A and B are shown apart, each in its own frame.
Chain A
């Protein structure tokens, strides 16, 4: 049985800046999130991970412009294209369908309102029929759900620690029981212990409530543990897409391979640590052909001419796709990518 899709992103393209030479921050990204699944998106800083989320939820601040593609959300009344909704429909759908936990745990809460008010205003906006007491009750319940004492509903954000604030944000995201929860580097500002606690909390809630998760991070080791599927992004494109365990054991793209070898494995045999040479590409002056070719240890002559598209791997493994010319017919994969 194939699982039902919840969120489908098709050929999404985003530019930054108007006029003659906009920066192409996303170039035709396609992704599918299935029901109950955790989809991880990984990549270096500036590869377009966050842009992808902001564009898919239409929260992209100017000068970002969505130049093409569609984002189909499969709700109870069939699929709708988020990018073509009217402002009013969009406001009604937000938080209800897709809730987001943002990077900045420190600044995500309005400093002048009590936590309770910020938890309840979303409920009030989407459930105008609810009473004040009901909303307050729900806010207390939400706080308890993320392990914060319900009395803290009266607290101001500055009275909470960074970890607690991020928990409040997760509680807030759960307020309307959304179908999709997007986590945009939710733990970057927190220490490692807090990171784990927060993630475990989210995963536990997911098991209980059954929503789907899009988890964005540059921490691949974390991703491999929690995600079902992983998409690796590079320079505004997806270069590899597969099940988490597969990416970890058998990366098929030289960039994924590099990314996985740039942190020490927690389990299994020790292996030498290697970074990826060079630095992330300048999106304004991308190299011709494959954008990764200047940094790629396996680059061939053809790589600087031909742009690889996302396609099946050389071994045609089911459910795996990779954008690398090494996987075209008649090429032999290097040993590191064919285990």
Chain B
């Protein structure tokens, strides 16, 4: 229990630090969002409008930095992340809420799939080391070395242009209105096959290699020999004794990778013009959209923190040695 409490305090402090950094950075950068916005409208803004914009962004020059900070927290808890420039005057929170489900669903499913398949293949070839199964290794090494954007472009070229089986870009058919009806869901699934497939192909190799190497290490542990000597069925030795222990580092790696689902697929969403968080971040960067970038960074930071927490919990559940009371 004390362990859980300690971890919770740790995460709270980290979250506070992340939010604070997020608050400080735009304020120490040269220029400010209002200036950027004024430039965008090429000076066609009245003084009143400029003042209200400053107030809106919480950048009131008359207010002290402390009151700005308190203000910032207040608005954060109210879910107010400011207004986006690129999609002016849509609130940042709405922009993020619109794109987040796309990313989380697509990359989430792809990551889980990649982890599950990769780990399972890793178990198999790690258990049968020194046989034909080792031939898979160079292939996986090649796949993990291929840059993702190249893989994505090749996939588009072959499967969407040369043989137009799949759509080249987007998250759904342009003629449809997003909503939960069969036609739209079917279209969304159809559009997700290439992006998800390429994400799985490019990330599965890492899981295979990691699991295979851990399997080889764990297979020579005494307790695996003991399990063999006990005459347990081979599957039980392989999964219950070898893989059960070899998977521990994989699990923490996986939980950490979950945190990067939100951000780490920037390239994929760019290549496929997929309407997710990464694509929005890309647009925000292009449009010098500070509030939007800030909002996305905040979400990414929180996602990484939550993923870390999941990793901790998973580890405690899987490894009894970490459960010991300190």
Check if A and B associate. yes
* A96 with B231, Cβ < 8 A, contacts A62-B130, A108-B222, A111-B320 known: yes
A110 touches B228 (CB 8 A): no
Which bracket fits the contact residues of B?
20 to 34
Q: Tell me which residues from 91 to 122 in chain A have a Cβ below 8 Å from any Cβ of chain B.
A: 91-96, 99-100, 102-104, 107-114, 121-122
B11 CB to nearest A CB, Å? 26
* A125 with B236, Cβ < 8 A, contacts A92-B231, A95-B230, A112-B319 known: yes
Q: Is B139 an interface residue (CB 8 A)?
A: no
B285 CB to nearest A CB, Å? 45
Q: Is B227 an interface residue (CB 8 A)?
A: yes
B316 CB to nearest A CB, Å? 12
Q: Is A61 an interface residue (CB 8 A)?
A: yes
By a CB distance below 8 angstroms, the chain A residues around B232 are 91, 121-122, 125
Q: Is A156 an interface residue (CB 8 A)?
A: yes
B242 CB to nearest A CB, Å? 10
Task: Please report the number of residue pairs spanning A and B whose Cβ atoms sit closer than 8 angstroms.
Answer: 79
Q: Tell me which residues from 283 to 324 in chain B have a Cβ below 8 Å from any Cβ of chain A.
A: 318-321, 324
A94 touches B231 (CB 8 A): yes
Q: Is A285 an interface residue (CB 8 A)?
A: no
A125 touches B230 (CB 8 A): yes
* A95 with B231, Cβ < 8 A, contacts A108-B226, A111-B321, A112-B318 known: yes
Interface string of B221-238 (1 = CB under 8 A from A): 111011111111110100
CA–CA, A158 and B319, complex, Å = 11
- By secondary structure, the B interface counts as helix
B320 CB to nearest A CB, Å? 4
A72 CB to nearest B CB, Å? 19
Q: Tell me which residues from 221 to 265 in chain B have a Cβ below 8 Å from any Cβ of chain A.
A: 221-223, 225-234, 236, 240-241, 244-245
Q: Is B44 an interface residue (CB 8 A)?
A: no
A158 touches B236 (CB 8 A): no
CA–CA, A102 and B130, complex, Å = 25
A112 touches B244 (CB 8 A): yes
Q: Is B220 an interface residue (CB 8 A)?
A: yes
Q: Is A320 an interface residue (CB 8 A)?
A: no
CA–CA, A140 and B320, complex, Å = 21
* A110 with B245, Cβ < 8 A, contacts A121-B236, A158-B324 known: yes
A91 touches B231 (CB 8 A): yes
Q: Tell me which residues from 75 to 96 in chain A have a Cβ below 8 Å from any Cβ of chain B.
A: 90-96
A110 touches B227 (CB 8 A): yes
CA–CA, A108 and B245, complex, Å = 13
B236 touches A57 (CB 8 A): no
* A107 with B221, Cβ < 8 A, contacts A156-B321, A158-B320 known: yes
By a CB distance below 8 angstroms, the chain A residues around B319 are 111-112
A314 CB to nearest B CB, Å? 41
Which bracket fits the contact residues of A?
20 to 34
B236 touches A122 (CB 8 A): no
B222 touches A104 (CB 8 A): yes
B231 touches A93 (CB 8 A): yes
Q: Which residue on A lies nearest to B224, using beta carbons?
A: A110
By a CB distance below 8 angstroms, the chain A residues around B245 are 110-112
Q: Which residue on B lies nearest to A125, using beta carbons?
A: B232
Q: Which residue on A lies nearest to B322, using beta carbons?
A: A158
B223 touches A109 (CB 8 A): yes
A125 touches B321 (CB 8 A): no
B244 touches A121 (CB 8 A): no
Contact of B230 among A94, A103, A104, A158 (CB under 8 A): A94
Q: Which of B220, B227, B320 gathers most chain A CB within 10 Å?
A: B320
CA–CA, A257 and B240, complex, Å = 47
By a CB distance below 8 angstroms, the chain B residues around A110 are 223, 227, 240-241, 244-245
Q: Tell me which residues from 70 to 102 in chain B have a Cβ below 8 Å from any Cβ of chain A.
A: none
B136 CB to nearest A CB, Å? 19
Q: Is A59 an interface residue (CB 8 A)?
A: yes
Contact of B320 among A94, A99, A112 (CB under 8 A): A112
Q: Is A152 an interface residue (CB 8 A)?
A: no
B71 CB to nearest A CB, Å? 50
B231 touches A59 (CB 8 A): no
B220 touches A61 (CB 8 A): yes
B229 touches A94 (CB 8 A): yes
CA–CA, A90 and B229, complex, Å = 10
B320 touches A156 (CB 8 A): yes
By a CB distance below 8 angstroms, the chain A residues around B227 are 110
By a CB distance below 8 angstroms, the chain B residues around A104 are 222
Q: Which residue on B lies nearest to A117, using beta carbons?
A: B240
By a CB distance below 8 angstroms, the chain B residues around A109 are 223, 226
CA–CA, A103 and B222, complex, Å = 9
CA–CA, A107 and B221, complex, Å = 7
B318 CB to nearest A CB, Å? 7
Q: Is A126 an interface residue (CB 8 A)?
A: yes
CA–CA, A125 and B235, complex, Å = 12
By a CB distance below 8 angstroms, the chain B residues around A102 are 222, 225-226, 229
Q: Which of B226, B245, B320 gathers most chain A CB within 10 Å?
A: B226
By a CB distance below 8 angstroms, the chain B residues around A99 are 229
A108 touches B223 (CB 8 A): yes
B77 CB to nearest A CB, Å? 41
Q: Tell me which residues from 87 to 143 in chain B have a Cβ below 8 Å from any Cβ of chain A.
A: 130
CA–CA, A120 and B216, complex, Å = 26
B244 CB to nearest A CB, Å? 6
By a CB distance below 8 angstroms, the chain B residues around A62 are 130
A125 touches B221 (CB 8 A): no
CA–CA, A95 and B227, complex, Å = 10
CA–CA, A90 and B226, complex, Å = 14
List the 9 shortest-distance A-B pairs measured between CB atoms, nearest first.
A94-B231, A107-B222, A122-B230, A156-B320, A104-B222, A110-B223, A91-B231, A95-B230, A108-B222
Please name 7 pairs of A and B residues whose Cβ atoms are closer than 8 Å in the assembled complex, sorted by A. A57-B229, A113-B240, A121-B230, A125-B233, A126-B231, A172-B226, A172-B230
Question: Given A91-B234, A112-B320, A158-B321, list of 4 further CB < 8 A pairs?
Answer: A90-B231, A107-B223, A110-B244, A121-B236
